[in-house]
């Protein structure tokens, strides 16, 4: 809802801190889903999303919204996730053990996100995708980013992004069907 | 083999280069933003108020067409074309910067309402000349303009939009009988009407936007503008003095009150119609009463919209759409079976005032669809007559 | 076998819940950072006022200014409230969301129409059918 975002940013520019809570409420679940789909370590997910929100709060007084706020926050999350992956020099495909660690059902007392059975399946399937496909699928589905913007972010063509999305969904379909029927 | 002369080659090169220069410009038309065309139409139409009054009477059916009206409509042919082209575009960004808050400018609505009247005048003229396809097309263009105006707008946008829809539906009611024997056209029209009526956002969306746009801007630094506006529209000297000398705390408290008031209004909109209306009337009176003892309610008393009336107008416009939809179904039954059904078929669009089917009555001249509950704001029960003329 | 559309829906519908304590912690951190973001970049004035001579001059200016202000306040017949400058009202300035909204509240759509009519009258007529030829003729003083 771009209109509401525009008003929220306007309120933040004018010093109205209550608008922060609304931004947080609105996008917390999607950003967490996005980060959970991109990263393998649970602590990393929480750090990334928290950093994105806190970073936004720090810049909110002078922030200028040019497109969609959700896309902006999703891009920040994906950038932070990418940096974290690079820093850790992880493999693009995590092992099943790592995946299971991410999606463990038992959330600790202070764990931010508690995943539904379906989302645990999604995470297990996501780690089997190459990083580029995972990025495209999650940014498009959880960040509501159009392919054009994802293409600019990945520095590639729209056609490539569309192919990555299609292949990504195909792989997810096989993985999820396998898991569902298991 | 014949060789081309130098002059001919030069001529051909000229033609090719002119075509290559013009082609991009041609492909750029029509623009993919309907608002650009609406603004063009607003700049080019002839804002002749005595003529517009006459056109209004003509589209209401109070007077017949005359040469003066026909000439006026012809004079506005370009604006009509721009308005109709705009209706065909799915995208419409008005470029309104709502972050300007209270004094966000909306100068485009009056010209658009006036052009809509001229478009409907042409629709009626085309209908009388037997060009029903053109006439219906023009009515639908007005409906689409309504959807474009309401989309993303505040309460005033919503009101302008539904006023356009009302005018277009009145015109359609007169035109539909002429195509009563063409089932294909009736089916097409039914689906277009469904599309348009489904495209109008809920009045709650508009109220919610007022809450943010106006509520968020009730601040001390806006006192000059607020005073100017409320003085123009009548406020006691004492109230004006309180507002002029108010500090930030006064504005904070008034902002909270205003937003809380509109939040209560939004909640009341979810109730069934009679209860919703009763609650909205009570809520409408609340700020004025409360402001006598509570200064936090002063700005809401002046600025809060009259939502009870707005909700009724919205219901009236949507009910009219439903009546037109129901009538199209009945005409379709008649076109296929040769006669109108004895009772209203199942699953017809409802009268939104009662939440029930329309009361349906046939007679020799046609049929009437009657609401089963009153518009409580106007204390009036609406009925829609469709004829076989 | 799930189809593309089904997979997309499945992915979108797969939900998570969040823990209230963590939510509050993040919101609190956001508020803190937002509140502290009021601090401006290094202030040029602060740097200037580090000089002793400038501080003395400023103190003198403040004393003089306060004196003038006191005289002004005493002589003023009535303290005028501080009202931010108003924007000059242009004819189209009447067609703001607020004025239209108030007009509707007082007199319905007719009042809105009258407001517009008044604004248009004050602004004067616009071009009705200005063609490119007319514009060129005007530019060339023809």
pLDDT tens-digit profile, chain B (389 residues)? 445 567 777 777 776 666 656 555 555 566 778 999 999 999 999 988 899 999 999 999 899 999 999 999 999 999 999 999 998 887 899 988 888 777 788 888 989 999 999 999 999 999 888 888 889 889 999 999 999 999 888 999 999 999 999 999 999 998 898 888 888 888 888 888 888 888 888 999 999 888 888 887 888 888 888 887 777 666 788 888 888 888 889 999 999 999 999 999 999 999 999 999 999 999 999 998 999 899 999 999 888 888 899 999 999 999 999 999 999 999 999 999 999 999 999 899 999 999 999 999 999 889 999 999 999 999 999 999 999 86
ipTM confidence score = 0.78
Cα separation, B117 vs B56, whole angstroms:
6
Domain ranges of chain C: 4-75, 85-142
> Of B96, B99, B201, which to mutate for an interface test with A (greatest number of A Cβ within 10 Å)?
B99
Contact C12 A137 (CB under 8 A): no
CA separation for the pair B198, B253 (Å, rounded): 38
Which residue in chain A is spatially nearest to C36 when comparing CA positions?
A58
Q: Which residues, in sequence order, are bridge partners of residue A114?
A: C17
Of chain C, the percentage scoring pLDDT greater than 90 comes to 1
pTM: 0.59
Residue of chain B minimizing CA distance to A8: B212
pLDDT band at C54 (very low <50, low <70, confident <90, very high): low
For chain A, positions 102-131, list CB contacts with chain C under 8 A: 107, 109-116, 118-119, 121-122
> Chains contacting C with at least 3 CB pairs below 8 Å?
A, B
Question: Which domains does chain A show, CATH number per domain?
Answer: 2-181 (1.10.1740.10)
> B216 at the A interface (CB within 8 A)?
yes
Q: Nearest by CB to B99, from A4, A6, A16: name it.
A: A6
Q: What are phi and psi of C17, to 5 degrees?
A: -115, 155
DSSP 3-state of C75: helix
| Average confidence (pLDDT) over C28-52 | 65
Contact assignment for A169 to C4 by CB distance below 8 Å: yes
Q: Taking a contact as any Cβ pair under 8 Å apart, which residues of chain C between 5 and 64 contact chain A?
A: 7-8, 10-19, 21-23, 26-27, 29-31, 33-35, 37-38
Alpha helices, H only, chain B = 6-27, 34-44, 49-60, 67-75, 77-87, 109-128, 132-150, 155-175, 183-199, 203-210, 223-232, 237-244, 248-269, 273-290, 298-303, 307-337
What is the nearest CA distance from C131 to chain B, expressed in angstroms?
10
Residue B349 sits at φ, ψ, to 5 deg, of: -60, 150
């Amino acid at each position: 809802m771009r209109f509401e975002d525009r008003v929220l940013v306007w309120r933040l520019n004018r010093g109205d801190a209550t608008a922060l809570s609304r931004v947080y409420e609105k996008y917390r679940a999607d950003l967490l889903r996005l980060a959970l789909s991109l990263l393998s370590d649970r602590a990393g997910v929480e750090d990334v999303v928290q950093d994105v929100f806190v970073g936004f709060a720090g810049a909110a007084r002078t922030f200028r919204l040019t497109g969609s706020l959700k896309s902006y926050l999703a891009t920040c999350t994906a950038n932070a996730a990418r940096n974290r992956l690079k820093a850790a020099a992880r493999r693009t495909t995590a092992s099943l053990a790592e995946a299971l660690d991410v999606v463990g059902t038992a959330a600790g007392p202070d764990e931010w996100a508690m995943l539904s059975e379906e989302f645990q399946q999604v995470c297990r399937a996501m780690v089997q995708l190459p990083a580029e496909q995972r990025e495209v699928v999650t940014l498009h589905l959880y960040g509501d980013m159009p392919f054009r913007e994802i293409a600019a972010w990945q520095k590639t063509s729209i056609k490539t992004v569309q192919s990555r999305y299609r292949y990504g969904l195909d792989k997810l379909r096989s993985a999820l069907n396998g898991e569902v029927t298991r | 083999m014949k060789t081309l002369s130098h002059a001919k080659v030069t001529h051909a090169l000229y033609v090719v280069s002119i075509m290559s220069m013009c082609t991009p410009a041609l492909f750029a038309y029509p623009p993919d933003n309907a608002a650009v065309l609406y603004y063009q139409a607003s700049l080019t139409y002839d804002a002749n108020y005595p003529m517009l009054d006459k056109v209004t009477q003509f589209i209401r059916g109070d007077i017949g067409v005359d040469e003066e009206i026909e000439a006026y409509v012809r004079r506005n042919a370009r604006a009509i074309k721009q308005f109709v082209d705009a209706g065909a575009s799915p995208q419409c960004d008005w470029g309104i910067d709502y972050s300007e808050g209270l004094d966000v400018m909306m100068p485009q609505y009056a010209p658009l309402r006036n052009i809509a009247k001229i478009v409907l005048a042409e629709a009626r003229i085309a209908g009388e000349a037997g060009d029903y396809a053109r006439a219906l097309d023009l009515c639908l263009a007005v409906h689409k303009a309504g959807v474009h105006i309401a989309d993303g707008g505040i309460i005033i946008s919503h009101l302008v939009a539904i006023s356009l829809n009302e005018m277009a539906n009145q015109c359609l009611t007169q035109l539909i009988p002429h195509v009563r024997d063409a089932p294909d056209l009736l089916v097409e029209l039914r689906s277009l009407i469904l599309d348009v009526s489904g495209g109008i956002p809920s009045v709650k969306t508009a109220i919610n936007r007022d809450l943010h746009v106006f509520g968020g801007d009730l601040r001390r630094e806006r006192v000059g503008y607020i005073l100017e506006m409320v003085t123009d529209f009548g406020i006691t000297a004492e109230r004006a003095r309180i507002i002029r000398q108010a500090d930030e705390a006064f504005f904070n408290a008034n902002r909270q009150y205003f937003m809380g008031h509109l939040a209560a209004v939004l909640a009341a909109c979810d109730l069934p119609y009679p209860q919703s209306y009763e609650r909205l009337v009570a809520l409408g009176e609340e700020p004025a009463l409360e402001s006598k003892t509570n200064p936090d309610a002063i700005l809401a008393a002046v600025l809060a919209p009259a939502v009870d009336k707005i909700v009724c107008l919205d219901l009236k416009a949507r009910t009219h759409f439903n009546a037109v939809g129901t009538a199209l179904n009945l005409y379709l039954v008649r076109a296929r079976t040769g006669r109108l059904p004895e009772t209203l078929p199942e699953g017809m669009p409802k009268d939104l005032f009662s939440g029930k089917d329309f009361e349906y009555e046939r007679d020799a001249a046609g049929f009437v669809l009657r609401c089963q509950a009153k518009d409580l704001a106007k204390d009036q029960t609406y009925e829609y007559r469709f004829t076989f003329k | 076998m799930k189809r593309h559309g089904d997979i997309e829906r499945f992915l979108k519908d797969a939900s998570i819940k969040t823990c209230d304590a963590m939510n509050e912690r993040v919101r609190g951190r956001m508020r803190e950072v937002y509140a502290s973001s009021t601090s401006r970049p290094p202030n040029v004035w602060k740097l200037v006022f580090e000089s002793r001579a400038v501080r003395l001059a400023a103190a003198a200016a403040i004393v003089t200014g306060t004196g003038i202000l006191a005289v002004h306040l005493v002589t003023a017949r009535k303290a005028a409230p501080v009202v931010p400058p108003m924007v000059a009202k242009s004819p189209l300035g009447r067609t703001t969301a607020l004025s239209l909204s108030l007009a509707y509240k007082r007199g319905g759509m007719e009042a809105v129409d009258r407001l517009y009519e008044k604004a248009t009258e004050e602004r004067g007529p616009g071009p009705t059918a200005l063609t490119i030829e007319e514009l060129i003729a005007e530019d060339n003083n023809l």
